[in-house]
Structure formats: structure tokens, C-alpha cells
Amino acid sequence: MKYSYLGKSGLKVSQLCLGTMNFGPETEEKDAFRIMDTALDAGINFFDTANVYGGQDRRGWTEEIIGRWFQQGGGRREKVVLATKVYNDMLDEQDGPNSGSGLSAYKIRRHFEGSLRRLQTDHIELYQMHHIDRNVSWDELWGAFEILVSQGKADYIGSSNFAGWHIAAAQAKAKERHFLGLVSEQHLYNLLERTPELEVLPASQELGLGVIPWSPLAGGLLGRNALAKTGVRSARSAKLEQHRSQLEQFSALCKELGEHEDQVALAWVLANPAVTAPIIGPRTIEQFEDSLRVTEITLDEETLKKLDEIFPGPGKPAPEAYAW
């Protein structure tokens, strides 16, 4: 396994991040334990979760599974760089009129403590805002996060689903307060969704954030069996038909390379210098083990050019991409 610094921080994380969203609803606890143990054995030290993972009626379930895994001991907690998120309504937090989605200082404090209880730990390495809250000032947000950091409960703060200008505003206010600010941005990025190349990726690089792409396989459309799966879900089928020509060309290119589609798609994301670690979200141990080869794949310039032809992105950062 290879490792990179997380943004401008001195924290080293594996170049693959284990996503845990399927743990509970799709992956039984014993299988989740096995995947996490295998991840550690493979050198993956970066685990990502969120307080809401577990399903609409069992929010927090995934964090609970990870907490029980930690309690098995064997240095499991000490070996993991743990990332979780806050923003959405947890349903059972009894927040009254302050329930719902958001990032008030009140909510951050309460929901952080809830995550600690479920994860059965006393600290979190990377605490991430799951979405931007346009109703809360950066003075309030940084005030809340500074308390967590000064208390030793959180080491670093990250964002997720932020626009480029949100990142710029956050870092400017953090600098004004003499605070480290954001060290990472978790963002949707894959061969079928390259919009972040306009502003989010350049802003992150310039301002010291490592990018952690979520859904690097576009919900499975860039997986090895995508073209064989028809009628599984209506929304998925519609997207498959929309991109069928591209996916067929992509599949043919992968056969030429002698690699599976999902591995090439992940390797492409990882090849971007703005990216620290794509999130892999396996449902099974077999899916996880298949992902491990990604860090060994190097895509040459000719292959990258062919991928650009199949999946054309904006071509340039903003404003050049659309201004001239």
C-alpha cells in the first residue's frame, strides 16, 4: 500500500480509503469485520463513515458496527485514521426545533458526542461537514470546531460536497482566526462526473486540501459487470442507457489494457494530483480484494488521452473551460 499526506496536514493516509456505507444495510456485521481486518492487513489505514450511515430507520448503525469492531482490541483503533461526518438529522437525538439537517454549534457538539458513543472511542482523526450549511457563519463553525480540536477530541476538520468558493471562504476565515482550517474535501468525482475539475479540484490544491472522491465508480456504472446488469433498478437502467456508448468503448479499452473496468476507473481517479485517496465501498470481501490492485496500476499518457476522448471533461479549469 502507498501513502500520501492528507492535504496540507502531516497526517499520512493510505491511497485507498475504506468506505463503510454498506456496513449494516448491505453487509452483515461479521462480513464487515472481515473486510476491516483484511483492510488493515493490506495496509489501508484510512476508514470513512458518517453518523447517518445505516439506513433511513437505523441511522448510526454503521458507526455502531465499527465501534464493536474496535472493541475487539488487537490495536484496531490505534491503526485506523478514522473519518466521520455531521450534517443530517439523526432522528433520535431529540433536538426538538433544532432537528433536521444543519451545522449549528449546538448540533455539532451534540452529534459529535453521539458519534463518539457509537464508535466507542474518545477521539476522531478527521471530522467532516457532510454538506454546506448556508445559514451558519464561519465564525460559528470554526468556533465549534476549534473547541473540539483544542480538547483533543478531533485532530483535523474536513468538508464534503462543498463548492470551490465555499472552500475559499472557509480557508480565508480560518486563516483570519489563526486556525488550520480544512485539510480535505470529500467530493463526487469519477469518469462520468468531471465537473469538479472546473473549480473544486483547483481550489483544493491551491488551498491545501486533499480530495477524497466518493462514488469513484459512478454507483457501479464503471464496474466490470455494468453492461450485463439491466433492469436492476429503473434509475440505474436509465443512466446505463444514457451512457451505454461510452461504457462500451470504456469496456473495450479495458480489455486492451488487460484490466477490469472498476480498477481502471479507480486508477484514473487516483492519477489526478489533487486526489489523496478515492473511497472504495465494498459490499463483499471479494469486491474489496479486487480493489487492492489499483495502487499498482499506472495509466500512461496514451491511455489517459483515450479516456479523455471517451469521457470528455471540461478540458480546462474555470473560466477557460467556458469563457474562450
Summarize pLDDT for 236-285 with one digit per residue, the tens.
788 999 999 999 999 999 999 999 999 999 999 999 999 999 999 999 99
Whole-angstrom distance, CA of residue 322 vs CA of residue 324: 6
Nearest residue to 83 via CA among 117, 46, 58: 46
How many of the other CB atoms lie within 10 Å of CB of 301?
A: 7
For the question of residue 156 being annotated catalytic, the response is no
Q: How many CA atoms lie within 13 A of 146 on its CB side?
A: 14
pLDDT band for 97, please (50, 70, 90 cuts). Answer: confident
> Stretch 132-159: mean pLDDT, rounded?
98
Q: Dig out the grid coordinates for 114 from the structure.
A: 453521539
- For residues 214 and 186, the answer to whether their CB atoms sit within 8 Å is yes
Residue 231 predicted with pLDDT over 80: no
Report the distance separating Cα 235 and Cα 221, nearest Å: 11
Q: What is the 3-state secondary structure (H, E, C) of 20-88?
A: CCCECCCECHHHHHHHHHHHHHCCCCEEECCCCCCCCCCCCHHHHHHHHHHCCCCCHHHHCEEEEEECC
Residue 92 pLDDT exceeds 80: no
Tens of pLDDT along 34-88? 999 999 999 999 999 999 999 888 999 999 999 999 999 999 999 999 999 999 9
Report pTM: 0.95
Q: Which of 3, 53, 156, 322 is catalytic?
A: 53
Cell matching residue 278: 478515492
